[in-house]
Amino acid sequence: MLKAIQNLGCSSSGWLLWKTRTSTSTSTSACKTPSFRRFRARSESSPDAASASSSSPVALQSSSSGNVRKISFCQWCGGPTKHEIPSGEEKMRAICTVCGKIAYQNPKMVVGCLIEHDNKVLLCKRKIQPSYGLWTLPAGYMEIGESAAEGAIRETWEEANAEVEVLSPFAQLDIPLIGQTYIIFLAKLKKPQFSPGPESSECQLFALNDIPFNSLAFSSMFVTLNLYIEDVKAGKPKFHYGTIKKRPGTSPSDIHAFTLDYHLQS
């Protein structure tokens, strides 16, 4: 159940094993770090910072990364906020100076589908920023009132006009720097029909050897697709948990400049 992938090595996809270790020295927390890898490859043009979806909310949710200083007013009473660490807490919050309410900010979930069809996977080329013209799995922000699976189905319909059935959870990938968590499900087409939705310019099935790894939109998609290929090779899909940590000093637009920490499987 708990097993670090130790043997990925370098694949045709550019999935480069940089370093593997089992100590906890790479993390400031006490968390086990069974697998540690660093990827460095091509420079591309789209940050995860405003990534995750081709739905309009994504580009607009400028507070996704949780800059508490940007919260200047109370959304409930309109009073000005102060920025302090509340009593009994440890993090800076925006606190209303009139009604006293605290504006908490939390990470957002991005939900999507990895659709398998005839040994191929369905990708969408983005017709919107960020990452215009680059390829992604259909995915977007989860909404209140829906489950992650329902959200992934909805996003797939919106971006690829495809009706899908969710088969199993495949990956949870946290990106702490920008306050996002990707939840990706394996899915299959209910009918062999798809076409670009309003935010996609193309939708296409790719054989695993033909996935456009040089033109992917986000780090999360790079990781997800590589993990999937490795699982297919091993003959058994698993559930993967991991943390994508951007390498300090690198451009946010370089989707390959990150480490994958805490990689756990079940």
**Which residues between 137 and 196 bind its own copies (CB under 8 A)?**
141-150, 153-154, 163-170, 172, 174, 176-177, 179, 181, 183, 190
Nearer to its own copies by Cβ, of 184 and 203: the residue is 184
Angstrom distance (rounded) from CA 147 to CA 144: 8
Angstrom distance (rounded) from CA 185 to CA 152: 7
Nearer to its own copies by Cβ, of 14 and 169: the residue is 169
Instruction: Compute, in degrees rounded to 10, the torsion defined by CA atoms 155, 158, 163, 165.
Output: 0
Piece of 13-21, 26-34, 39-47, 131-139 that binds its own copies (CB under 8 A): 26-34
Which residue, 227, 234, 235, is CA-closest to 264?
227
String of b and e for 199-231 (b: at least 16 CB within 10 Å)?
bbeebbbeeeeebebeebbbbbbbbbbbbbbbb
Minimum CB–partner distance for residue 215 and its own copies (Å): 26
Nearer to its own copies by Cβ, of 237 and 252: the residue is 237
Is it true that the peptide bond before 80 is cis, omega within 30 degrees of 0?
no
Minimum CB–partner distance for residue 61 and its own copies (Å): 5
Residues of this chain, 223-242, that bind its own copies according to CB under 8 A: 236-239, 241
- Asked if 213 and 144 touch (Cβ cutoff 8 Å), the reply is no
Nearer to its own copies by Cβ, of 120 and 154: the residue is 154
Q: 2, 7, 192, 209: which one contacts its own copies (CB under 8 A)?
A: 2
Nearer to its own copies by Cβ, of 6 and 75: the residue is 75
Angstrom distance (rounded) from CA 130 to CA 183: 19
- Asked if 259 and 35 touch (Cβ cutoff 8 Å), the reply is no
Residues of this chain, 203-222, that bind its own copies according to CB under 8 A: none
Minimum CB–partner distance for residue 73 and its own copies (Å): 4
Nearer to its own copies by Cβ, of 145 and 249: the residue is 145
Count of other CB atoms within 10 angstroms of residue 126: 23
Residues of this chain, 36-55, that bind its own copies according to CB under 8 A: none
Number of chain positions touching its own copies (CB under 8 A): 78
Residues of this chain, 57-116, that bind its own copies according to CB under 8 A: 57, 60-62, 65-66, 70-78, 80-81, 86, 88-89, 91, 94, 101-109
Angstrom distance (rounded) from CA 82 to CA 166: 44
